[in-house]
Chains A and B, each alone.
Chain A
Amino acid sequence: MTDPNENHVKPNRDRLSLRIHCGTAVVVVPFLVSIAIAATGFARFQQNVDRLTAASHFATRMADVERDAVEMRQHVVAYTHGGNAGDADAVTSLGNTLLEKVDGARADAPDDESRGRLDRMHDHLTTYLGSFQEVVRERRLREQLVRENVLEPAHDVTRRMNVLSDDGPAATGRSSVPDEFARRIGTYVSLAEARLLQFLSDPDARLVDEGLAALRLGIDEWSADHPDGDDPVLARMQELEHGFLRTVQATRAYLYLAHVVMAGEAAEFAFHTEELKRRAEDELVSIGTAAEDDGRQTAQIVLVVSLAAAAVGVLISLMISRTILRPIRAITETFNLLSRGEVVGSVPGLDRRDEIGEMARAADVFRSRNRETVALLDTTRRMTDELDGKARELEKRNEDLDSFAYVASHDLKSPLRGVACLAEWIAEDAADVLSEESREHLDMMRQRVDRMDQLLDDLLAYSRAGRTGEEDEVVDVRELLTAIRETIDWPADTRLHVDPSLPRVVTTPVELQRVLQNLLTNAVKYRSQDAPEVAVEARPVGDDFVEFSVADSGIGIAPEYHDSVFQMFRRLHTQDEIEGSGMGLALVKKIVETHGGTIRVESEEGRGATFFFTWPTGRPDGPLAESAGRPETSATPLLEPAPLA
């Protein structure tokens, strides 16, 4: 037998509940992770949407900036060609708007790189607009120079030369100016003017050189012809030269600003705009791709994690099944076997350190008890079988003995009856010839034969006790007593008291009659010197039995004989003192016990004796209830003189 304490382990170690909780956690955690991943994926999706919106917004801003920049440049080109003030105003307005848009876009810029580019765009645009203002100034300066310092002096000189050539020297007061000379000077000035005007529309240094060369030729010739320094024509031509040069420089400066500085700034501005647009478009594509990738990745991860979780769940289930359900089934099977009383060799799972181990150890206790019980049952069954065998053997022996007794008493009675007949015949036939002594012997023989016959009857009755073969019937014990009273040779002074409430029982009347008859016979047989007084009473004992008592006022029985008086052939008196076979009380005891009852005696020597025996009522509702339908008898003991005495 296994001692449950032997396998006692630390309660918190390898607890099955802990494993189950851990297993549950292992199953739940992947799902939580899956949920977290899905939530993260959604958050990233939302972020991508936000980024997409911002990038789209930024791309729109950049497209707007580019459109305005193109429009502004168109106005710049228009202004440089036509000098329309409206174009200049449009450039300024668009430029300021662009600056605001660039600064606004900077606030929405997605990263430092973009902000840096927008900062540079701001700088380029600022330089561009500043240069444009210089362009405007230069163009206005040039217009003023052309008007005041080129055309006006040139026309003045030309007019003067025309006058000279038309009116002759009188016009100027100088006789040395021939007509041809005047026309040549005028031609120089006109050529210079023409070349400058050509230069303004098609800037080319050769035009400047030609114009300047012509003008300076005119100046030189006029100076040579007019050595006096204070000459209005020369002054006008020198003024024209200065205006010519300033106009050229203004044009060059204006061209440099417009075609180099502004174009350079515009190119850089356009480059950064294009780059930001491209980056925004790339960002849009990237976000779209990232969103797709994120979605796909999230879905894949969730799928993988879910599958993993499912797989883990299955594994955990299998593990639980393997580690819990299977052992539990095994232990359950063990309990079933134990419940069926089968012997189980060992209980599975005794070595486990968890709740199943505790169950197994508990089952092992049952197993041990069961094994002991089985062993006990085996012993009991064996003993029962053995007892049954002995009972059957004893019954057989009793039957054999009864059969022997019956056969012996029955078979002995025939020769005994023959001896009695022979003795009778001898007495009748040889009465005359027999001596007195022989007759006495013959009488003695007849007495002995009678006694032997009585003994045989008693033996026969004893052997038949409980096997009368008669059917049970309702017996009125009082009537039965009346019948018995008729068969007993009552002494004359006998007083018999019969309980008027004696019941009716369902039983074999012969058996009850013999019991009562033997007890009443003994009451008068073992009388004292006083007149015999006998009382028969009854009282219910439980629902199924009634206890009868037969009390007498006889010689009594010493207490040490209260048991032995019920033994066969046990007699407290000699045959000579009181005649008897010694079978009476043994027969009574056998009959009572055969019917399931008990018998005892209460008595003291010289103070009478009372025999109590119980007898089955034969009906579950009890014997005394039957008395209700019968006329009541007096409660006073019936004292009747023995009519047979």
Chain B
Amino acid sequence: MPNPRHTPRPTPGRRRAALLAVASTLTLCAVALTGCAASPDPHTLTVLNSATDTAEHAQNQKFFDRCGAEYGLKVRQTSVPATQVVSKALRMASSHSLTDILELDGSDLPAFAATSGLEPLKPLGVDTAGLSRGALSMGSFQGTFYGIARSVNSLALVYNTDLLARARVPVPRTWDELLSAAKRLTSGKTYGMAFSATPDADGVYQFLPFFWSSGGDEAHLNDLKGAAALNLWKTLISDGSASSAAVTWTQQDVNDQFLAGRAAMMVNGPWQVPALDAQTKIHWAVATIPAPTAGGSTQPPIGGTVMTIPRTGHRDRQALAAKVIDCLNTERNQVAWGEAVNNIPTRTAAAAEYRKDNPKLAGFADAVATARSRTALVGAGWPGVQTALAQAFQSVLTGSAAPERALRRAQASVDAASK
């Protein structure tokens, strides 16, 4: 160890090195500061989205390039995982560096629109004619349209045609039929039914078609109409027709179970189609999710991302962004995009064409036609309702609360949080 009392005297060489270090630090700081102040490139539009998947990112870029080229623009995407888009966008907002186009999950739109940080799209010239009711409602907040979805998804019942044929079970149309079909299809290591009931946005998305179809109201959980849906899920598990692991299975896990032949039917969305198509062992078909009673109807949720234009203060860039968005949403581009990502176009005419081209996915297309937006009733309050609903079905499925009690508690927690 060197003697701690000995302090070396600075030699001229050392002093020069120190000066050099200080100078270079200062230059570095100056460079960093000017970097922040640099004005955005007028020929490049920026986009923040969740296309982290390589194929999806490339597919997106193709459409951006096609539409950007019409206006002599380049488009640069920044992609972060879906769960991080909101926090990333909020950070960008606080540093005034938001992108020209912000692609949000539809259920996050109200929380953003409520900040007055988004531009209404119609005054900027985005054409909304012919959009489906669900798509209009998903992109709106308090009557103003802020976000347009190129394509949307919903949920349907995907079933294993071989297993149903072998057990001579017809495709269930009502909840009673679903319960008995699931029971008859359960044998050995194969469950009759599979669904995802994780305590997050995806689990709630899966619960909604049952909750809404039974008359459930997300603004008044304690009217107890949703209890029937909780009972249905609970019965599927207590009958042994569905695994109690549903509370931990993601939608991806559910699809894996189905593909391994361990589930005869599942609730899932069109984004699973590539995985379903990539194999030949399991033969599958798509049907509408069963309704509570014969002649009743099913109310599935609508999901997907919407493109918004943040209030950045650059009027000319916003106008260009609106033009690019408009181009992405022409009937032709919507059909092409929908087919690329297995989602359903939002323009009614485009959806019809898509349905004609993809008869196998008609079940999904039909679901989207009547699908309802999660935020239509509760708007920016949706995140709280979502957490409460997840708590409700998790406590019912694990046997820690009866459906009625779970729903009353859910409404109480929503009320407490919004106080």
Partners in one complex: no
Which chain A residues have a beta carbon within 8 Å of chain B's beta carbons? none
